[in-house]
């Protein structure tokens, strides 16, 4: 079509401008809309004017001066106006057009719209040649789309992108992945809601179903009410993903990760290994397996592998705090300090990172700094006053080493373990740091074997303080360096035998770090 590239485009003139196809979209200047399949977007007049100008000069450089002349009539309006319009065109290119064209900046000169297919003017496509029918055989196939499709195929086989409807779940899945990495209960619930919306609008999207199953399976990383996410939901989402795609990695991982492994460690390891044998790069399975290794006392092995994993996911808060522990287990304390500080700068008041730094400081004898961290209310995550008081009293007792202070703080610890799982996890750490080993074994009997006079909380409840992965019975805190005195006590191996840990070590042929030669 012969359209002068020097013609001034005004908002009013858009009504007379013919429609055209560029990349994967049909552009209708008269209504200021762009369309891909059934999806339609309305755009600003100035963005439409700039899009038309760039499309008319498709694959050729259009100077900034030429754009000002054709879209603003040569009136000086400043670079910001042009920059905003160019940004609008780029949003169309990367959004509804699915990257089927792009706008390249030519430094100090102007811009170039790059597309494998130049603009296809609909007025030309709609005019049949002599003896040619307007509509081709077949329901709903117009000459316009047949010609456009043929030209696109000839230009590089992009017809599928040009005329297929973009999957509405794609953006929702992308947004959910960002939310999952934030590492907060709120962001995880947002991720789940986005994925539930994705499978609703695109029920045949296997990736969305698989990631939804994974999000459900990882709720133990977050303080989300268990009743909201049942095992049935995990199984249903995973099975739907596998029906659509039998090799879906997220679905297979979700089924492996969700099952609690306290007392069933060998079967859990085999589940993780089976997923990784098929999908060796699946991050969430690798993360779950490394946390599992800490639960069975293989702390150093876990730490070495954790460093590799975190390099693959530097912006995932749920991975980052675990690296602090890993470096502590490897006796790389200065590096652990740096990771903890960096993590709190990236995710201020994140509970997982805050506790990781606290236990690192206390477990390496820096009790003054641990006490100062607890006292700093502005940087502390939202913890109930009784837990804060117990932390402070126990750390001060550990610093003083006075028997009376340790006895009083131990009673305070044991008095709170029935209130929340967080108090149990923190209590085990604090009792070992204070050297209150008898009380530590009493808490272990209550928590792991449900015996003795102490009643320990077993499940998280809404309103309780948040500690990552606190829903399931954890054994990780039994194997940290600050638990060395407990590990060397004869009662420890009896405990390991009663909970089934020694059976795992025997069958696996791999013992815990504390039983290996130094």
pLDDT for residue 54: 95
Q: In the chain, pLDDT over 70 holds for what percent of residues?
A: 84
Reported as a pLDDT band with limits 50, 70 and 90, residue 477 is very high
Lowest pLDDT segment from 196-205, 296-305, 470-479: 470-479
Sign of CA dihedral 496, 502, 504, 510: positive
Highest mean pLDDT among 107-121, 313-327, 402-416, 457-471: 402-416
Q: In the chain, pLDDT over 90 holds for what percent of residues?
A: 57
From first CA to last CA, the distance across the chain in angstroms is 81
Lowest pLDDT segment from 180-184, 242-246, 368-372, 494-498: 180-184
Whether 142 contacts 43, CB under 8 Å:
no
pLDDT for residue 394: 98
Reported as a pLDDT band with limits 50, 70 and 90, residue 404 is very high
Sign of CA dihedral 465, 467, 473, 476: negative
The pTM (predicted TM-score) of the whole model is 0.67
pLDDT at 134 over 50: no
Contacts of 363 (CB under 8 A, 6+ apart): 328, 429, 433, 480, 481, 482
Per-residue model confidence as pLDDT tens digits over 366-388? 999 999 999 999 999 988 899 99
CA distance 337 to 327: 9
pLDDT at 497 over 70: yes
Where is pLDDT greater, at 39 or 272? 272
pLDDT for residue 7: 62
pLDDT for residue 189: 87
Which two structure tokens, joined as six digits, stand for 61?
């450089």
Question: DSSP letter string over 216-250?
Answer: HHGGGGS---GGGS-HHHHHHHHHHHHHH-TT-HH
Taking CA atoms, 422 is separated from 187, 252, 352, in Å, by 21, 30, 12
Per-residue model confidence as pLDDT tens digits over 211-251? 999 999 987 665 444 445 678 899 999 999 999 899 999 99
Whether 32 contacts 44, CB under 8 Å:
yes
- Element containing residue 477 per DSSP (H, E): none
CA distance 198 to 211: 10
Reported as a pLDDT band with limits 50, 70 and 90, residue 422 is confident
pLDDT for residue 495: 98
Contacts of 149 (CB under 8 A, 6+ apart): 159, 162, 163
Domains and their CATH numbers in the chain? 1-165 (1.10.10.10), 167-288 (1.25.40.10)
CA distance 388 to 374: 7
CA distance 154 to 412: 77
Reported as a pLDDT band with limits 50, 70 and 90, residue 160 is very low
pLDDT for residue 180: 87
pLDDT for residue 16: 82
pLDDT at 402 over 90: yes
Taking CA atoms, 186 is separated from 131, 154, 194, 210, 463, in Å, by 64, 49, 12, 21, 14
pLDDT for residue 150: 45
pLDDT at 308 over 70: yes
> Mean pLDDT of all residues in the chain?
85
pLDDT at 188 over 70: yes
pLDDT for residue 358: 98
Lowest pLDDT segment from 161-175, 258-272, 449-463: 161-175
pLDDT at 126 over 90: no
């Amino acid at each position: 079509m012969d359209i002068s590239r020097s013609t001034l485009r005004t908002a009013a003139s858009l009504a007379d401008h013919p429609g055209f196809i560029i990349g994967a979209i049909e552009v209708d200047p008269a209504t200021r809309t762009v369309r891909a399949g059934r999806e339609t977007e309305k755009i600003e007049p100035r963005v439409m004017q700039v899009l038309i100008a760039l499309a008319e000069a498709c694959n050729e450089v259009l100077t900034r001066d030429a754009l000002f002349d054709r879209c603003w009539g040569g009136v000086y309006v400043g670079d910001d106006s042009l920059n905003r319009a160019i940004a609008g065109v780029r949003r169309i290119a990367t959004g509804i057009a699915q990257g089927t064209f792009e706008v390249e900046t030519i430094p100090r000169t102007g811009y170039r719209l790059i597309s494998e297919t130049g603009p296809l003017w609909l007025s030309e496509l709609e005019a049949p040649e002599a003896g040619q029918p307007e509509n081709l055989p077949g329901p709903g196939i117009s000459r316009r789309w047949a010609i456009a499709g043929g030209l696109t195929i000839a230009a590089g086989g992009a017809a599928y992108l040009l005329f297929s409807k973009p999957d509405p779940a794609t953006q929702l899945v992308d947004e959910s992945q960002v939310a999952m990495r934030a590492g907060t209960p709120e962001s995880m619930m947002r991720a789940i809601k986005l994925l539930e919306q994705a499978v609703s609008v695109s029920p045949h999207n296997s990736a969305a179903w698989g990631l939804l199953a994974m999000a459900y399976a990882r709720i133990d990383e977050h303080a989300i009410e268990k009743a909201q996410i049942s095992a049935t939901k995990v199984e249903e989402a995973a099975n739907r993903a596998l029906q659509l795609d039998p090799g879906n990695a997220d679905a297979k991982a979700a089924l492996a990760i969700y099952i609690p492994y306290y007392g069933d460690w060998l079967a859990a390891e085999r589940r993780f290994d089976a997923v990784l044998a098929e999908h060796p790069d699946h991050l969430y399975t690798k993360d779950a397996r490394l946390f599992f290794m800490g639960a069975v006392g293989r702390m150093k092995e876990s730490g070495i592998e954790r460093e590799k994993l975190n390099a693959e996911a530097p912006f995932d808060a749920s991975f980052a705090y675990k690296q602090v522990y890993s470096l502590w287990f490897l006796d790389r304390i200065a590096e652990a300090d740096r990771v903890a500080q960096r993590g709190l700068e990236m995710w201020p008041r994140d509970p997982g990172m805050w506790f990781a730094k606290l236990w690192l400081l206390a477990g390496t004898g820096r009790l003054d700094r641990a006490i100062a961290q607890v006292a700093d209310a502005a940087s502390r995550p939202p913890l109930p006053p009784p837990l804060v008081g117990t932390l402070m009293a126990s750390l001060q007792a550990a610093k003083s080493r006075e028997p009376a202070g340790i006895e009083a703080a131990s009673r305070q610890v044991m008095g709170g373990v029935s209130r929340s799982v967080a108090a149990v996890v923190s209590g085990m750490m604090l009792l070992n740091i204070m050297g209150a080993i008898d009380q530590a074994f009493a808490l272990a009997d209550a928590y792991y074997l449900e015996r003795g006079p102490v009643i320990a909380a077993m499940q998280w409840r809404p309103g309780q303080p948040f500690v990552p992965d606190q829903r399931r019975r954890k054994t990780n805190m039994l194997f940290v360096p600050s638990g060395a005195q407990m590990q060397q006590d004869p009662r420890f191996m009896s405990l390991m035998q009663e909970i089934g840990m020694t059976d795992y070590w025997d069958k696996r042929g791999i013992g815990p770090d504390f039983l290996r030669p130094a």
